[in-house]
A = this chain, B = another copy of it.
Amino acid sequence: MIRKYTFGLPIDTNAVIAEIKSEDILSFPLELKTGERLQISFDLLSDEMIFGLGEAIRGINKRGWTYESWCSDETNHTEDKKALYGSHNFIVVGDRFALFVDFAGKVEWDLGYDKPDRAVITLDGNDADVYIIYGKNQRDMVVQFRKIIGKSYIPPRWAFGYQQSCWGYATQEDFYTVRDRHRENKLPLDAIYMDIDYMDSFKDFTVNSERFPDFQAFVDSMKRENIHLVPIIDAGVKREKGYSVYDEGHEKGYFCTDKDGKEFECGVWPGIVGLPDFLNSDARRWFGSKYEALLRCGIDGFWNDMNEPALFYSKRGLEKAVAKLKQITPDTMDIGGFFEMRNVLFGMQNSYDDYCSIYHNLDGKRVCHKDVHNIYGAFMTRAASEYFEEKYGKEKILMFSRASYIGTHRYSGIWFGDNFSWWSHILLNLKLLPSASMCGYLYCGADIGGFNNNVTRDLLLRWLALGVFTPLMRNHRALGTRAQEAYNFENVEDFSDVLAVRYRLLPYLYSAFRKASDTDDMLFRPLAFDYPDDKIAREVEDQLMLSDECMIAPVYEQNKSGRNVYLPEPMTLYLLSGERITEEPLEKGLHYIEVALNEVPLFVRNGKKIPLAKPAMNTAELDWENISFLG
């Protein structure tokens, strides 16, 4: 049962597609404070767990911290952070109710932080739709929610293969090397990503013609080897006269403006850019059609980046900062002056003041960016996806986005942004999967091996053994970090063994994905959803249920030859490695299991059968029909 309450005059966020009639707000079943900032509060029961918030930091159980919905280019995913790239205002409170706050501005979630037994949700505004969902259990509440926000995006099947990325691949030779070294080392591969360096001066929808003298031939040559190329598209469009994308957008008034109606200028990778006004449906159609420049060369996948939007600085902010820095006199500066100088520069990036000074044309209505911040990136991806669907049909083009809101799951997947090569980020990756599932993000994954900082061989192997189960399985790293392609490490056959398991499991994983999409269900679930009365299982934060047949429990600590696993029911443990499989039936309870670096552990419920294909070097060569079975 879903109850909708409408406060004020909410804008259309495009999150909910079902028609639901609003109830009288006097019947709102939680405590309310109205006024400039709508506030919803309720008491928490003792030991009550809170799930949700989609792409958010910390545990599967979100209780005991304070979060913000505010799409943020936040690279340092430590425990104290409040916001990541997506804003997903959906929570499940114990088995009592679920709550969706449909509001595109900032939302603060105090979930037992200030007072351990109290939740307080504060909106930076008072125009919102609030949905309260009751169901027979947590999973049922999620399915009801998913039904009103629409079916999840399904990418092409090749996008379930293993994918390699690196910010730093620049020339076509770099890409050929990546392809060839995977093939030589018997490492399967379906796609290689093109980060910002493929562009001409970081200009969207351009290709650097020195580095790619014949781009079409390059794409074709990769295709023949069953390698898909996936270029990045950034939100900001370089302000450069003579660059047709900018000139067109400028002429048509498709860029965001400042308070005075002038184009808002900010600095990101290309230098000063204009921000396309994705809130404007004409601008959306226009921007979506620009992908055609790459599609017509045979490109069939994209990732939309920097669309929170990330602002390194605004032009106005830079001018103010530089004016301040020029006043510094080293001889008389005290320590306060030193910290002020640092803060001036730190404060320029993704400044809230800047977000407050951007304006949109929401199909005729002028709105301040701060009130629609959390749908900006979502609408960029909607722009692309609507074009793809109209022109190419469903499931033809891979698309995933960094920023997102509820509803983006109909258009694309997401990745979890710029993580680190930290062991703790394997676990964070795992914890993000069920909350992403709750919001319909079935196609998702983290940068395997870690984006920032330096990887180690064992970290990459352990992370891949989790990545085997994530629909998006992409190894990605930042410029200047240690080489992270599998072929750079000793005993590369260990990597082949792990990657082979991905391809062997693809028929299962793909059908589990389709089933979750078709039935608006979760692909990954916390153990608490399946075993609510098992007091050990319900608190487990390092194992997940996968579809209806399996449980996963990767090793995520260095120098460990195994880990503790809790089985809430009898299951069979399979250790998969290349074509080798060992099996061990295990009773309900706590077990220590040994897992070698080249093994992938999988727990299968009794009576369930898991289809297995033969290993393959890519999804095109995979024999999807001739399968054997585990179990």
Identify the A interface with B (CB < 8 A). Answer: 47, 49, 58-59, 61, 63-65, 78-80, 113, 115-116, 267-271, 312-313, 315, 318-319, 322, 325-326, 328-330, 333-335, 338, 341-342, 345, 420-424, 452-454, 456-458, 490, 535-536, 539, 541, 557-562, 564, 566, 590-592
The answer, among B329, B333, B335, for a CB contact under 8 Å with A269, is: B335
Residue of B whose beta carbon sits closest to that of A271: B334
User: Which residues of chain B come closer than 8 Å to A456, judged between CB atoms?
Assistant: 64-65, 113, 116
- Minimum CB–CB distance for A223 against chain B, Å: 33
User: Which residues of chain B come closer than 8 Å to A566, judged between CB atoms?
Assistant: 564, 592
User: Which residues of chain B come closer than 8 Å to A561, judged between CB atoms?
Assistant: 47, 535, 539
Residue of B whose beta carbon sits closest to that of A423: B79
User: Which residues of chain B come closer than 8 Å to A341, judged between CB atoms?
Assistant: 345
What are 19 pairs between A and B in contact, CB < 8 Å?
A61-B559, A63-B559, A64-B559, A65-B456, A78-B422, A113-B456, A116-B490, A267-B335, A271-B335, A312-B335, A318-B330, A322-B325, A322-B329, A322-B330, A325-B328, A536-B562, A564-B564, A590-B590, A590-B591
A64 touches B541 (CB 8 A): no
User: Which residues of chain B come closer than 8 Å to A541, judged between CB atoms?
Assistant: 557
A420 touches B590 (CB 8 A): no
Task: Indicate whether A315 sits within 8 Å of B330 (C-beta atoms), given known contacts A58-B558, A559-B49.
Answer: yes
Residue of B whose beta carbon sits closest to that of A344: B345
User: Which residues of chain B come closer than 8 Å to A318, judged between CB atoms?
Assistant: 330, 333, 338
The docked-state distance in angstroms from the alpha carbon of A4 to that of B189 is 53
- Minimum CB–CB distance for A305 against chain B, Å: 15
- Minimum CB–CB distance for A133 against chain B, Å: 23
A420 touches B78 (CB 8 A): yes
For the complex formed by this chain, how many copies does it contain in all? 2
User: Which residues of chain B come closer than 8 Å to A536, judged between CB atoms?
Assistant: 562, 592
The docked-state distance in angstroms from the alpha carbon of A297 to that of B492 is 67
Among A64, A115, A315, which residue has the most Cβ atoms of chain B within 10 A?
A64
- Minimum CB–CB distance for A410 against chain B, Å: 32
Among A63, A338, A458, which residue has the most Cβ atoms of chain B within 10 A?
A338
The answer, among B452, B457, B559, for a CB contact under 8 Å with A59, is: B559
The docked-state distance in angstroms from the alpha carbon of A564 to that of B537 is 12
The docked-state distance in angstroms from the alpha carbon of A334 to that of B541 is 45
Residue of B whose beta carbon sits closest to that of A590: B590
The docked-state distance in angstroms from the alpha carbon of A560 to that of B63 is 11
Residue of B whose beta carbon sits closest to that of A481: B80
The docked-state distance in angstroms from the alpha carbon of A332 to that of B592 is 61
The docked-state distance in angstroms from the alpha carbon of A592 to that of B538 is 13
User: Which residues of chain B come closer than 8 Å to A452, judged between CB atoms?
Assistant: 80
Known interface pairs A65-B456, A80-B453, A318-B338; 15 further A-B residue pairs with C-beta atoms within 8 A, sorted by A's residue number: A59-B558, A63-B559, A78-B78, A80-B454, A271-B333, A318-B333, A322-B329, A322-B330, A325-B326, A325-B328, A341-B345, A539-B559, A539-B562, A590-B590, A590-B591
The docked-state distance in angstroms from the alpha carbon of A335 to that of B201 is 11
- Minimum CB–CB distance for A71 against chain B, Å: 21
User: Which residues of chain B come closer than 8 Å to A539, judged between CB atoms?
Assistant: 559-562
User: Which residues of chain B come closer than 8 Å to A558, judged between CB atoms?
Assistant: 58-59, 61, 63-65
- Minimum CB–CB distance for A169 against chain B, Å: 19
The answer, among B59, B342, B458, for a CB contact under 8 Å with A64, is: B458
B333 touches A328 (CB 8 A): no
The 8 closest A-B pairs by CB, nearest first: A80-B453, A79-B422, A325-B325, A61-B559, A318-B330, A319-B330, A271-B334, A564-B564
B338 touches A312 (CB 8 A): yes
- Minimum CB–CB distance for A317 against chain B, Å: 9
- Minimum CB–CB distance for A161 against chain B, Å: 28
User: Which residues of chain B come closer than 8 Å to A115, judged between CB atoms?
Assistant: 490
User: Which residues of chain B come closer than 8 Å to A63, judged between CB atoms?
Assistant: 558-559
B268 touches A335 (CB 8 A): yes
The docked-state distance in angstroms from the alpha carbon of A78 to that of B419 is 13
User: Which residues of chain B come closer than 8 Å to A424, judged between CB atoms?
Assistant: 79, 424
Residue of B whose beta carbon sits closest to that of A79: B422
User: Which residues of chain B come closer than 8 Å to A334, judged between CB atoms?
Assistant: 271
- Minimum CB–CB distance for A200 against chain B, Å: 15
User: Which residues of chain B come closer than 8 Å to A560, judged between CB atoms?
Assistant: 539
Residue of B whose beta carbon sits closest to that of A536: B592
User: Which residues of chain B come closer than 8 Å to A322, judged between CB atoms?
Assistant: 325, 328-330
Residue of B whose beta carbon sits closest to that of A66: B454
The docked-state distance in angstroms from the alpha carbon of A67 to that of B392 is 52
The docked-state distance in angstroms from the alpha carbon of A295 to that of B113 is 42
User: Which residues of chain B come closer than 8 Å to A422, judged between CB atoms?
Assistant: 78-80
Residue of B whose beta carbon sits closest to that of A325: B325
User: Which residues of chain B come closer than 8 Å to A335, judged between CB atoms?
Assistant: 267-271, 312
A421 touches B80 (CB 8 A): yes
Among A79, A115, A318, which residue has the most Cβ atoms of chain B within 10 A?
A79
User: Which residues of chain B come closer than 8 Å to A490, judged between CB atoms?
Assistant: 115-116
